[in-house]
Amino acid sequence: MASSSTQILLPGQPLPSSLTAPPVPQLGSGVYEYGGKILASVIGIPKREGAIVSVIGREESGNTPDVGSVVTRLSPLQAHVTLTTSNNRPLPESSEEFVGVIRIGDVRLTERDKVKMGECFRLGDLVKANVLSLGDARSYYLSTAANELGVVYATSESGNPLVPVSYQEMEDEQTGKRERRKVAKPEGI
């Protein structure tokens, strides 16, 4: 039986008493004992599996928030996007938008020196990206540098929906014309 808390702990904070209640737990990863208390050693979510308590940090969980975003502005060095979803849930509507930036070095894992933003994204593209960091006061830094990240929906210059045909191209099914994009992993490839 595994139990966990949705509370996020900072290093040095004690684990909730519900996870450290008798029988006395054994220490797992991400925790240490000090002064008779079990404390978090990493930022993460506390959990107990059987007799072992631990704190699962971002590195162990292997997950950073996935966001859905719409490209609103392009420059040669970055794409500005409006965030619309996080982990497949719509972001709350508020008076200010959630804004992200995909920098040229965060578009792909390989051949970063050959990236041309205009060949990776276009205005109005729907993009799946990971949050790298908070960035500055105005935006989040995002990355599409993984096969499953990139453009998930786009329209052609003719206004027709595009379908992915490779990691770097999408096709207008009505006209047959192909356009370059940094495509999220297409089905069947």
Dmax (CA) for the chain in angstroms is 71
Q: Report whether pLDDT(186) > 60.
A: yes
- H or E element, residue 61: helix 58-61
Question: Is residue 60's pLDDT more than 70?
Answer: no
Q: Grade residue 182 by pLDDT with cuts at 50, 70 and 90.
A: very high
pTM of the model: 0.62
pLDDT in tens, 85-139: 777 667 666 656 788 899 999 998 888 888 899 999 999 999 999 888 776 667 8
Residue 42 has pLDDT above 80, yes or no: no
User: What does pLDDT average to over the chain?
Assistant: 82
Q: With 90 as the cut, is the pLDDT of residue 1 above it?
A: no
Q: Is the pLDDT of residue 23 over 90?
A: no
The yes-or-no verdict on residue 35 having pLDDT over 70 is yes
* CA atoms within 13 A of residue 82's CA, in its CB half-sphere: 13
pLDDT at res. 84 = 80
Cis amide linkage into residue 25, ω under 30° from 0 = no
Whether the Cβ atoms of residue 186 and residue 164 lie closer than 8 Å to each other? yes
Q: How confident is the model over 92-103, as pLDDT tens digits?
A: 666 567 888 999
The tokens 């925790």 sit on which residue?
A: 31
Query: Is the pLDDT assigned to residue 170 strictly greater than 90?
Result: yes
**Cβ–Cβ under 8 Å, residues 146 and 86:** no
Structural domains of the chain sorted by starting position, each given as residue range(s) with its CATH number in brackets:
2-61 (2.40.50.100), 66-180 (2.40.50.140)
Q: For residues 76 and 60, what is the distance between their CA atoms, to the nearest angstrom?
A: 35
- Whole-angstrom Cα distance, residue 184 to residue 27? 40
For range 7-32, the mean pLDDT: 83
